[in-house]
């Protein structure tokens, strides 16, 4: 028998969402690789399944990837599950899939819950064209760059967010996208306290000044309308490197200090950082 990697989607809250095929594949597996083995044990125990488990996560994916590949090459059936939902979506898995494809191992998936898609279809926002953006960085500059890169995107945007970062994220979105866009905040999906709040970004900022964010969130945001898309012209500098951007202002007659200040303002970056990049690239 040839080895095969199964990507098995598991519930994102409600255990009733597990599929019959997912349970059958788990029952027949030689090895289950899980992001968090403790959570997966609970799932397996709930369904009376006992299987060898191994962890596969961001910090061990290189060694574990090689180990799982060796099992697959021996003809074993390996199942990859994530903490919740679909493996390889804002979860480790992508690297293992690539490793197996490159080694000629067959990869198949047992589809099931994905928080992003659940939130999208419940949002009331356009579902025809959307962009999944995953988690925003904890680094302020990266977060701002990410949001700025989406400012004129007309797709419905989907983000994952943890409760302790929700307020900062909403404030950043208000600053960059403007407060008038519609947002759906989906939490506790498929659970007893499932809640979808539909409002504008500014209303969401105000709401969470009073309320404590609880649970994991999916944020679904209306894409840029025609008017905002037209502001793309304002970002005339988006194709320039930081240094080219500074040089542009110098060529217009500014001192290098003024040019750094202007470029930093355009890019919403600290002056010090623009100065450093400009002088490093110049050297």
User: Considering only 40-48, 183-191, 232-240, 269-277, which stretch makes contact with ligand SAM by CB under 6 A?
Assistant: 183-191
Contact 246, 256 (CB under 8 A): yes
Determine which residue in the list 115, 185, 204, 246 makes contact with ligand SAM, applying CB under 6 A: 115
Q: Minimal distance in Å, beta carbon 46 to ligand SAM?
A: 17
Pairing between β-strand 106-110 and β-strand 4-8 as defined by DSSP bridges? parallel
Please report, as residue ranges, which positions from 87 to 106 form the binding site for ligand SAM (by CB under 6 A): 89-91
Nearer to ligand SAM, 213 or 223 (CB): 213
Q: Using the rule CB under 6 A, is 217 a contact of ligand SAM? A: yes
Q: Using the rule CB under 6 A, is 169 a contact of ligand SAM? A: no
Contact 222, 181 (CB under 8 A): yes
Nearer to ligand SAM, 165 or 248 (CB): 165
Nearer to ligand SAM, 190 or 235 (CB): 190
Q: Using the rule CB under 6 A, is 133 a contact of ligand SAM? A: no
Determine which residue in the list 187, 247, 262, 267 makes contact with ligand SAM, applying CB under 6 A: 187
Pairing between β-strand 106-110 and β-strand 53-55 as defined by DSSP bridges? unpaired
Q: Using the rule CB under 6 A, is 3 a contact of ligand SAM? A: no
One-character DSSP codes across the chain: ---EEEEE-B-SS-GGG--HHHHHHHHH-SEEEESSHHHHHHHHHHTT----EEE--TTTHHHHHHHHHHHHHTT-EEEEE-SSB-TTSSSTTHHHHHHHHHTT-EEEEE----HHHHHHHHH-S--SSEEEEEEPPSSHHHHHHHHHHHTT--SEEEEEE-GGGHHHHHHHHHHHH-TTSEEEEEESTTSTT-EEEEEEHHHHHHHHHHS---S-EEEEEPPP-HHHHHGGGGGTTTTS-HHHHHHHHHHTT--HHHHHHHHHHHHT--HHHHHHHHHHHH-
Q: Using the rule CB under 6 A, is 249 a contact of ligand SAM? A: no
Q: Minimal distance in Å, beta carbon 113 to ligand SAM?
A: 6
Q: Minimal distance in Å, beta carbon 134 to ligand SAM?
A: 8
Nearer to ligand SAM, 85 or 213 (CB): 85
Q: Using the rule CB under 6 A, is 246 a contact of ligand SAM? A: no
Q: Using the rule CB under 6 A, is 114 a contact of ligand SAM? A: yes
Determine which residue in the list 3, 13, 92, 213 makes contact with ligand SAM, applying CB under 6 A: 13
Q: Using the rule CB under 6 A, is 19 a contact of ligand SAM? A: no
Q: Using the rule CB under 6 A, is 161 a contact of ligand SAM? A: yes
Q: Which residues pair with 187 in a beta bridge?
A: 195, 217
Q: Using the rule CB under 6 A, is 120 a contact of ligand SAM? A: no
Q: Minimal distance in Å, beta carbon 21 to ligand SAM?
A: 17
């Amino acid at each position: 028998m040839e080895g095969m990697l199964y990507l098995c989607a598991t519930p994102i809250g409600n255990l009733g969402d597990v599929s019959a095929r997912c349970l059958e594949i788990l029952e027949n597996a030689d090895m289950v690789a899980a992001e968090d083995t403790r959570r997966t044990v609970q799932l397996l125990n709930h369904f009376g399944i006992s299987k060898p488990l191994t962890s596969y996560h961001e910090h061990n994916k290189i060694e574990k990837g090689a180990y799982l590949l060796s099992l697959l090459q021996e003809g074993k059936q390996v199942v990859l599950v994530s903490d919740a939902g679909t493996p390889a979506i804002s979860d480790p898995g992508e690297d293992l899939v690539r490793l197996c494809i490159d080694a000629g191992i067959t990869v198949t998936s047992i589809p099931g819950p994905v928080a992003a898609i659940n939130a999208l279809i419940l949002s009331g926002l356009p579902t025809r064209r959307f962009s999944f953006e995953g988690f925003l960085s904890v680094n302020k500059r990266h977060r701002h760059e990410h949001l700025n890169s989406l400012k004129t995107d007309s797709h419905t945007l989907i983000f994952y967010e943890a409760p302790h970062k929700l307020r900062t994220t909403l404030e950043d979105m208000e600053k960059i996208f403007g407060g008038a866009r519609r947002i759906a905040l989906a939490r506790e999906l498929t659970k007893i306290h499932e809640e979808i709040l539909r409002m504008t970004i500014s209303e969401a900022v105000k709401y969470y000044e009073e309320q404590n964010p609880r649970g994991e969130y999916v944020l679904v945001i209306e894409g840029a309308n025609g008017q905002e898309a037209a502001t793309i012209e304002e970002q005339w500098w988006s194709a320039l490197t930081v240094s080219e951007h500074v040089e542009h202002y110098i060529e217009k007659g500014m001192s290098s200090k003024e040019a750094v200040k202007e470029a930093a303002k355009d890019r919403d970056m600290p002056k010090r950082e623009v100065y450093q990049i400009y002088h490093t690239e110049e050297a």
